[in-house]
Amino acid sequence: MGAIDHFGLFYRGRSDYTAQLSVFIDRSLHDGFPVVAALPEPNLSLLRESLSPRTNANVEWVDMAQAGRNPGRILPGVLMSAVGRHIGRRVHFIGEPAWPGRSDAEYSACAMHEALVNEVLPYTGGAVIVCPYDADSLSPQVLATAELTHPTLADHGLTRVSSKYDPCAWLKFNVPFEDAPSAAAVIAYNEPSHLARVRDFVAVQGFKAGLSAMRTAQAVQAANELAANTLQHTRGGGQLAAWQDSGNLVLQADDGGQLPPLAGRIPPANGVGPGHGLILVNVLCDLVRTYVSPAGTSVRLLLRPV
- 3-class state of residue 250 by DSSP: strand
User: Percent of the chain at pLDDT above 70?
Assistant: 96
- Cα–Cα dist 97/112, whole Å: 11
Give pLDDT tens digits for 121-158: 999 999 999 999 999 999 999 999 999 999 999 988 78
pLDDT band for 269, please (50, 70, 90 cuts).
low
DSSP 78: I
Question: Residue 275 pLDDT more than 90?
Answer: no
pLDDT band at 267, cuts 50/70/90?
confident
Please tell me the predicted confidence (pLDDT) of residue 273. 47
> Residue 276: its pLDDT value, please?
84
pLDDT value at 176 more than 50? yes
Q: Determine the residue type at 77.
A: G
90-103 per-position pLDDT tens digit: 999 999 999 999 99
Is residue 28 within 8 A of residue 2, CB to CB? The reply is: no
Asked if 221 and 268 touch (Cβ cutoff 8 Å), the reply is no
Q: Which residues pair with 185 in a beta bridge?
A: 242
b/e sequence 86-99, b meaning 16+ C-beta within 10 Å: beeebbbbbbbbbb
Read off the pTM.
0.94
pLDDT tier for residue 225 given thresholds of 50, 70 and 90 = very high
Residue 17 C-alpha from the chain's centroid: 22
Q: What is the pLDDT of residue 300?
A: 98
Q: Could you tell me how many helices (H) and strands (E) the chain has, helices first?
A: 10, 12
pLDDT at residue 4 is higher than 60 = no
Confidence at residue 188, expressed as pLDDT on a 0 to 100 scale: 98
| CATH classification code of 185-303 | 3.30.565.10
**CA 69 to the chain's CA centroid:** 8
- The tens digit of pLDDT for each residue in 72-82 reads 999 999 999 99
Answer yes or no: are the C-beta atoms of 185 and 242 closer than 8 Å: yes
Does residue 109 register a pLDDT over 90?
yes
Domain boundaries in the chain? 6-171, 185-303
Return the CATH class of domain 6-171: alpha beta
